[in-house]
Amino acid sequence: MDKPVFLETRSIVKRFNEVTAVNNISMKIYRGEIRGLIGENGSGKSTISAMISGLLPKTEGDMLVEGDPYAPKDPLDARAKKIAMIVQETGTIGQLSIAENIFLGDEGRFARNGIIDRKQMHQEAKKALALVDFGEVDVSLPALTLNFEQRKLIEIARALYYEPELFIVDETTTALSHDGRLLIHRLMRKLRDQNKAVLFISHDLPELMDVCDALTVMRDGDLITTIDRSEFEENHIKQSMVGRVIEGDYYRSDIRASRGEQVMIRVNGVHASLLRDIRFELYQGEILGIGGLSGSGMHEVGKIIYGELKPDRGEVIVYGEKTPGRASGGKNRVNAENGGPLFPHKVKNVQTAIANCVGYVSKDRDRETLIMEASIKENLVLSALGKLAKFGLILPGAEKKFARRQMEELNIKASGMNQRVGELSGGNKQKVSFGKWIGNDSKILILDSPTRGVDVGVKTTMYQLLYSLKQQGYAILIISEELPELIGMSDRILVMKNGKINKEFRRDENLNESMLIDYMI
């Protein structure tokens, strides 16, 4: 390789108490190269990039930038050395304006006699946003007025504004729509062609193989190998990731749609900010998929059903016990499978949804689903309290048993059930938010992008689990931008476009992605 080295790590180590997240890694990242980083959840990818970008101090070892010692104190210091990273979860602060978010920590550049020149700041913010083709927006609005994808674009604009020589993208594309992904790919290729270096972390192997010039594989904190583009071979990469052969495809194998008779959710002519006259039913024992572009309104549908967003018109009806409430211990739960009658309840808020056994995994797990300061155990048992309680008391033994089972089933990688969720790797957080709902007595699961950021091994487990839940009579709604996942798992798929349901497909072995895309755009 005759390209110049931009950054080098020498035997770098990161330990969190007894966990060695990164173990003696020596690697070189070259200019004019897009380097991919892949590995199972918890293999150390985010930790190494966090050390490079100044988010975490190293425990041992050295780093060099263009041959000079490099030990960033914080991300601003790294940025001054021309290294910038965009992270897996949202890195914007909702209460601050869009412009303030872009120049966070560097407001001083607009200070005149101690006063911030807002006009100039706003002008520069617009320049930064133009780098990511953001379109017209009032940059004085708080960031919380933007959706997830737009907030990601703000972060990317912030990183690019400072003209990084090394641009690190940590598992960002899975959170983006198809167009958002293509934009990031374009930006990465442009930087590479300008002889800058790019480090790209993703779980999407086809995407990595498409975009990267070389791929470094990590496993359990070790660097396993670096493979050049000319030697990319999917099965070989997968094997080096997991250390064993992965075979078969992971979706359900039956090709016929099936479902029970009982309606569990009825969405009745819902209008909301983006949504126009949404109507559909979700049945017992059915996996219903919703696909579309991220601005199609599909994520709002999940929030409406869970009672987190209120419709302007129309209603959501959930079918449950005559007197809903989880305090009954779940014994008399939604009992359609026993032939018992179910009763319609209008979803007024999150409490009605939960009381009627609706579980919801949000796309934005950090903001909406998990409590970062609480332990894995506490997060897992939170929604299962009714089930675990006896005479109104929670038995600690029951809690532990429940948490242990969920951790085993989903292979949650952590030092133990008492570890704070905030300390987990991104994919392991996703497993916790998934485990939180499936282990309790929710019979209706609303899953928004459930496998985002999750590695192949765990995806397999999640899909198997979903299929077995379907067979047990659960009603499951999967909202996803991953079309193969929708096609592979759903009995029916609703395709949304511009806030409306544009098309309905039944499960069919001839269904393919382009048939869905035709109705999405």
Ligand X SMILES: Nc1ncnc2c1ncn2[C@@H]1O[C@H](COP(=O)(O)OP(=O)(O)OP(=O)(O)O)[C@@H](O)[C@H]1O
Binding site for ligand X (CB under 6 A): 16, 19, 21, 39, 41-47, 171, 413-414, 423-428, 453
How far apart CA 294 and CA 399 sit, in angstroms, is 37
Question: Looking at beta carbons only, is 43 or 262 nearer to ligand X?
Answer: 43
Closest residue to ligand X: CB criterion: 427
How far apart CA 309 and CA 365 sit, in angstroms, is 16
Question: Looking at beta carbons only, is 50 or 198 nearer to ligand X?
Answer: 50
How many degrees, rounded to 5, is the angle at CA 354 between CA 341 and CA 460?
Answer: 95
Question: Looking at beta carbons only, is 355 or 414 nearer to ligand X?
Answer: 414
Shortest CB 359 distance to ligand X, Å: 22
How far apart CA 450 and CA 287 sit, in angstroms, is 13
Shortest CB 185 distance to ligand X, Å: 20
177 touches 295 (CB < 8 A): yes
CA separation, residue 521 to residues 297, 326, 495 (Å): 13, 41, 10
376 touches 424 (CB < 8 A): yes
How far apart CA 174 and CA 178 sit, in angstroms, is 9
Question: Looking at beta carbons only, is 274 or 410 nearer to ligand X?
Answer: 410
How would you classify the pairing of strands 33-39 and 197-201? parallel
Instruction: Tokens for 161, please give them.
Output: 């504004």
How far apart CA 88 and CA 453 sit, in angstroms, is 8
How would you classify the pairing of strands 287-292 and 313-320? unpaired
Matching residue, tokens 């299929």: 467
How far apart CA 25 and CA 390 sit, in angstroms, is 50
Question: Looking at beta carbons only, is 46 or 451 nearer to ligand X?
Answer: 46
How would you classify the pairing of strands 278-283 and 287-292? unpaired
Question: Looking at beta carbons only, is 47 or 352 nearer to ligand X?
Answer: 47
How far apart CA 450 and CA 453 sit, in angstroms, is 9
Question: Looking at beta carbons only, is 157 or 176 nearer to ligand X?
Answer: 176
Q: Look up residue 22 and give its amino acid.
A: V
Q: Look up residue 341 and give its amino acid.
A: P
Q: How far apart are the first and last CA of the chain?
A: 42
Question: Looking at beta carbons only, is 44 or 320 nearer to ligand X?
Answer: 44
491 touches 287 (CB < 8 A): yes
- Give bridge partners of residue 201 from the DSSP assignment: 37, 170
CA separation, residue 451 to residues 318, 493, 514 (Å): 25, 17, 21
> What is the 8-class DSSP label of residue 4?
P
Question: Looking at beta carbons only, is 150 or 428 nearer to ligand X?
Answer: 428
Shortest CB 427 distance to ligand X, Å: 3
Shortest CB 475 distance to ligand X, Å: 29
Question: Looking at beta carbons only, is 44 or 292 nearer to ligand X?
Answer: 44
How far apart CA 454 and CA 156 sit, in angstroms, is 22
Contacts of residue 28, Cβ cutoff 8 Å, sequence gap at least 6: 5, 7, 8
Question: Looking at beta carbons only, is 41 or 362 nearer to ligand X?
Answer: 41
Shortest CB 41 distance to ligand X, Å: 3
Question: Looking at beta carbons only, is 18 or 247 nearer to ligand X?
Answer: 18
47 touches 14 (CB < 8 A): yes
CA nearest to 334, candidates 358, 310, 352, 312? 358
How far apart CA 273 and CA 255 sit, in angstroms, is 36
Shortest CB 428 distance to ligand X, Å: 5
Shortest CB 248 distance to ligand X, Å: 22
